[in-house]
Amino acid sequence: MKVSISTILKKYNKCSKIHILIGYLDHEKLKLKFRALTEMMTAEMFKPTLREKFSMFRYKYLIELDIIDTDMRNEQNKNVDVNGIVHFEN
């Protein structure tokens, strides 16, 4: 998959639709949130249409919510004593 993406990028580097698609694949299929945001920001540089701008806005918002949600879960699990849980289960 990575080879085909790089091949497409070489041929259509300045196409905002391709960058939006790659951002979608990075987030939904590969779970690479920050890379997906980077692709969306890259797509903004290539004069997207109004529909593409709306898609990028909406998708960046969803990715940011996902990042915030993950961060909140990490904060909640920060004070968990893993050793105590393992000891209790044994």
Dump pLDDT digits (tens) for 30-84: 888 888 999 999 999 999 999 999 999 999 999 989 988 888 887 776 766 656 6
Average pLDDT over residues 1-17: 83
- How far apart are alpha carbons 51 and 46 in whole angstroms? 14
Average pLDDT over residues 19-38: 89
pLDDT given for residue 45 in this prediction: 93
CA distances from 5 to 1, 12, 18, 21, 25 (A): 6, 10, 9, 10, 10
Tokens of 15: 């196409």
pLDDT given for residue 83 in this prediction: 64
pLDDT given for residue 55 in this prediction: 93
Contacts of 14 (CB under 8 A, 6+ apart): 46
